[in-house]
Structure 1
Amino acid sequence: MVSIIDRVRGRTDAPVLPEPEPEDIFEEMTLQEHLEELRQRILYSSIAIAIAFVIGLLLAFPLLGVMADFSGLETFVLISPTEGFSTFMRVGFYIAVALAMPVLMYQLIAFMGPGMTSEERYYVRLALIPVTILFVAGMAFAFFIVVPRALNFLAGFGAGGYGPVVFEDAFRASEILSFYFRLMLWIGLVFQMPVVIFVLVKLGIVSTERLASIRKFMLIGCMIAAAIITPTPDPFNMLLVAIPMYLLYELGLLLSRFSIGWVATPEAGAGPDPDESDETRR
């Protein structure tokens, strides 16, 4: 049977291997069993989101106040009778998804587990902690640094900060909320770069030598991506995103180099690959 790693590498024929250990044999499940498993995972995920949604509603107004303070605004503008309530519910839901994310990720991995080998399951579980930490770090970086500076620039444009006064600031609550969470989502995903690079190297899709040889192109790519992600045309806000993005690329390259010659085993952790020569590890 071809594993997920073999499929990613482009191998469609099963390699000749010794008889697999019992834990490496894929679990055979009927369609009915798959549907029942999916139903249970969806049920557990829904319960987690429902509980987290109650907590999110309690934190919605305090978070909106923090967003207003960081944006340099006293209040948000509402232009429809339902906008205040819908914004409140949206904030509560976003908080609920963020709080329930570990449970959602666990349920997803548990559902995919029967189709993975023990090594693949080990790498997926190993990536959970850094993925969570990097995503939270990216959202915090966007919330406390990138978004407030971008809003200050946009609010000052045409309102006396960069020329004659031709505009008056009056930001809608729903637009500020979308602005915040859109940037937080994109920058949180960008912060996954070290994990993505590490996985690509471990799967054999790309080598560390190849990644090191395209540094200058990656630097240009980071600048272009930062210009697309940030909504402001000023270079300062663009560099606020581009520099961490490139440093994360270098971090992923560094971690991948240290991982060369090491293989993971669910029982014993990671260790050097006995089939790999010392010259290759260097």
Structure 2
Amino acid sequence: MSDNKLIKAIKEKGKTMEAEMSFFDHLEELRWHLVRSAIAVVIFMIGAFAYYDFIFETVIMGPSKPGFWTYRMLCKLGEALNKPGFCVKEIPIKLMNNEMAGQFTLQINSALLIGITLGFPYLLWEIWRFVKPALHEKERKAASGFVIYASFLFILGILFGYYIITPMSVNFLASYTVSASITNWFSIDSYISSVATLTLASGVVFQLPILVYILSSLGILTPKFMRSGRRYAIVVILIVAAVITPTPDMLTMTVVAIPLFILYEVGIMVAGVVERRKKAREEAAL
């Protein structure tokens, strides 16, 4: 009996060690996925650092110049609607640096942000490579376009944030004054932070359909629940639009809220597709 207990204990210990080895193997694999993602970000960062003059003057400072694409389109829209107030002819923005290493750290930080933004699709691909082996064949097929869809939505959100939300916010905040005796002098860090936050936040918010897909696959969200909560979603979307855009005018809030509402409706359709697939698999299993 004692021999049997000893053998059983050895077997249990072997299973425990095997499980621990498997866990550490997964950690090691995840580490290498993250390392490769970090290398990709560093490569894009070096590229941004090398071409920083063009990136700073054209991309980063673009929303602060009247010749920016968004302002030119607003001028054309104003001409078509006979609303000259739409045209932005001047942006009274003055930037300053009040730190010894301010401009150097500015270049490093902004190049890093650009590296993260450009490297995001590759990061998604590495995450997919890590998760894929743990999925069943049907789950792999169902999620096969994850990287493409998520990257597309992220890029779409980045473009929306950069060309719509950021210029409207910059124009409003640069022109807003409480008193004529106060002159607006913005630190360059504040400007970079605002542009980066508004742009990247839009890219993250546009991942809503992907989040809905994951929650629907886990059985947490259903299309019925999302439809019944549409009125509450509208209120939340308006609050999010008000937070994202620090401008008080309804036009800007509406421009931001409409794409978010469209994303919510797309999320309902995504949840519906997931639910139909689940029912089809259940019927096939019977």
Same fold by TM-score greater than 0.5: yes
Partner of 2:280: 273
Using the TM superposition, name which of 119-128 and 192-201 deviates more. 119-128
Equivalent position amino acid for 1:261 in 2 = R
Distance 1:239 1:126 in 2: 31
Partner of 2:97: 78
Partner of 1:165: 180
Cα distance, 1:176 vs. partner? 0.8
Q: RMSD over aligned Cα, in angstroms?
A: 2.7
Using the TM superposition, name which of 254-263 and 131-140 deviates more. 254-263
Distance 2:43 2:280 in 1: 45
TM normalised by structure 2 equals 0.73
Using the TM superposition, name which of 241-250 and 203-212 deviates more. 203-212
* Unpaired runs of at least 5, structure 1: 1-26, 264-271, 278-282
TM-aligned CA distance change 1:54 to 1:75, over 3 Å: farther
Equivalent position amino acid for 2:52 in 1 = A
Task: Indicate whether 1:69 and 2:88 are aligned.
Answer: no
The answer to whether the 8 A contact 1:68-1:75 is kept is no
Task: Indicate whether 1:50 and 2:42 are aligned.
Answer: yes
State how 1:196-235 maps to structure 2 within 5 Å. 196-235=211-250
Distance 1:105 1:82 in 2: 34
Distance 2:43 2:229 in 1: 46
- Equivalent position to 1:187, from 185, 202, 211: 202
Partner of 2:157: 138
Task: Indicate whether 1:37 and 2:62 are aligned.
Answer: no
State how 1:236-251 maps to structure 2 within 5 Å. 236-251=251-266
Give CA-to-partner distance per residue, 1:230-265, whole Å, 9 cap, x none.
Answer: 2233323222221211111112213433454236xx
Q: Which has the larger radius of gyration?
A: 2
- SS of 2:246's equivalent in the other structure is coil
The answer to whether the 8 A contact 2:222-2:275 is kept is no
The answer to whether the 8 A contact 1:198-1:253 is kept is no
- Equivalent position to 2:169, from 150, 153, 158: 150
Equivalent position amino acid for 1:54 in 2 = I
Q: How many residues align?
A: 239
TM-aligned CA distance change 1:222 to 1:169, over 3 Å: same
TM-aligned CA distance change 1:42 to 1:203, over 3 Å: closer
Distance 2:249 2:23 in 1: 55
- Equivalent position to 2:130, from 79, 101, 111: 111
Distance 1:166 1:237 in 2: 28
TM-aligned CA distance change 1:42 to 1:259, over 3 Å: closer
TM-aligned CA distance change 1:41 to 1:207, over 3 Å: closer
Distance 2:124 2:268 in 1: 25
Distance 1:111 1:254 in 2: 28
Distance 1:192 1:58 in 2: 30
Partner of 2:52: 60
TM-aligned CA distance change 1:54 to 1:190, over 3 Å: same
* Unpaired runs of at least 5, structure 2: 1-18, 66-90
Cα distance, 1:218 vs. partner? 0.9
